[in-house]
Copies of this chain bind each other. A is one copy, B any other.
Amino acid sequence: MPCHTSPYVSKGLLCLVQLHSVRRLEGKQLEGGVKLHYFCIKNNDGISISASTGSYGRMRRHPWERAVRCVCGAGDGATAERERRGSPITESSPYEVRRAQELNNLLGPKGSSDAIDLICDLHNTTSNMGLTLIHYTSSDWVTLHICRYLQTKITKVPVRVLVLDVPISDAYSLESVSKHGFSIEVGPQPHGVVRADIYIIMKEAVDLTIDWIHKFNSGTVFEGGDMETFRLIKSVDYARDPETRSLTAAIHPQLQDKDFCLLKQGDPLFLSFSGETVNYEEEETLHPFFINEAAYYEKGIAFHVGKKMMLTIPTVQVQKD
């Protein structure tokens, strides 16, 4: 039987978060309305950490995100972190910088042999993304196998795999600190709201991830094969007033909630506040996603578009001593 073993997984994935910890963390954080939850797989005791232990209020996503960026060496937070590199961390350092460095010390350092084996970073979104599993690269076979397992087992909502094609060194999310990692997006869910249906989907995805790791570490052979993924092509901004940059249109009702559906020439994209429809003019058919995500307004992103592609992944099995 052909067998592939990642060089990083010579002894199996160092193991499990305790499920009760995940549950407790999620309940707590969700009440506060904060979007991001970090679920880290490390040794048999299991740890689950929150990137934010500071005084951030409800419905404020971005301080967390900056913290994440500081960990990973990109983005605005990272710029601040780079400026401070070599400077002592003091009580007066911005919270995001301090927390980022703590996380990198705890889970990394990024790129080192000491880094944690696998981080799975849990998000939700106002977009109708179903369950979307996001990778930086198309060569992390361990986590791609986990995604394939989730696609097989989860039937209540669509499960898509998105590949950003960004080098890990440029990646800015927490999971890029670990040797293997991916993030999970589930939506639609408004910021500041807990929805039981979304919670149940996320919990199922986490449970199945742990299930896969158990099986892998127990010697199960996971057969290779083809899997459907989406590759990020580019972002599209809202229609805006050229001078004031204020919105002049919203996502068209025919595009709203149609994440991952096919977008073809002539399809409506935006409906202006004065009633005109703006259509998709390009010849290439693509798949929009993250349509109308609340956190992306300020980034100038109305939605992303991606292209469907098939990936072939090898069979994997833990390496025996």
For residue A197, CB closer than 8 A to chain B, the reply is: yes
Given contact pairs A33-B297, A190-B294, A252 touches B126 in the complex (Cβ within 8 A): no
Q: Which A residues contact B (CB, under 8 angstroms)? A: 23, 26-28, 30-31, 33, 58-60, 126, 188-197, 199-200, 246-248, 250-253, 256, 271, 273-274, 292, 294-295, 297-298
The answer for the CA separation of A250 and B248 in the assembled complex, in Å, is: 36
Tell me how far the C-beta of A52 lies from the nearest C-beta in chain B, rounded to whole angstroms: 15
Checking B31, B189, B192, B271 against A196 with a beta-carbon cut-off of 8 angstroms, the contacting residue is B271
In the bound complex, do residue A23 and residue B256 qualify as a contact, i.e. CB atoms below 8 Å apart? no
Closest 6 CB pairs of A and B: A190-B190, A192-B294, A31-B247, A196-B250, A126-B190, A194-B250
The answer for the CA separation of A246 and B191 in the assembled complex, in Å, is: 17
In the bound complex, do residue B195 and residue A246 qualify as a contact, i.e. CB atoms below 8 Å apart? no
Given contact pairs A31-B297, A273-B23, A253 touches B197 in the complex (Cβ within 8 A): yes
Of chain B, the residue at the smallest CB distance from A190 is B190
Q: Which residues of B contact A256 (CB under 8 A)?
A: 195-197
Q: Which residues of B contact A298 (CB under 8 A)?
A: 58
Of chain B, the residue at the smallest CB distance from A20 is B274
Checking B192, B195, B200, B292 against A191 with a beta-carbon cut-off of 8 angstroms, the contacting residue is B192
Q: Max chain B CB contacts within 10 Å: which of A190, A197, A294?
A: A190
What are 26 A-B contacts defined by CB distance under 8 Å?
A23-B273, A23-B274, A27-B248, A28-B246, A30-B247, A30-B250, A31-B297, A58-B298, A59-B60, A59-B294, A190-B190, A190-B191, A190-B294, A191-B192, A191-B294, A193-B292, A193-B294, A194-B247, A194-B250, A194-B251, A194-B292, A195-B251, A195-B292, A196-B252, A196-B271, A199-B273
In the bound complex, do residue A126 and residue B193 qualify as a contact, i.e. CB atoms below 8 Å apart? yes
5 additional A-B pairs beyond A30-B247, A59-B294, beta carbons within 8 Å, are A23-B273, A58-B297, A192-B297, A194-B250, A199-B273
The answer for the CA separation of A246 and B58 in the assembled complex, in Å, is: 13
The answer for the CA separation of A60 and B60 in the assembled complex, in Å, is: 9
In the bound complex, do residue A191 and residue B191 qualify as a contact, i.e. CB atoms below 8 Å apart? yes
The answer for the CA separation of A33 and B126 in the assembled complex, in Å, is: 13
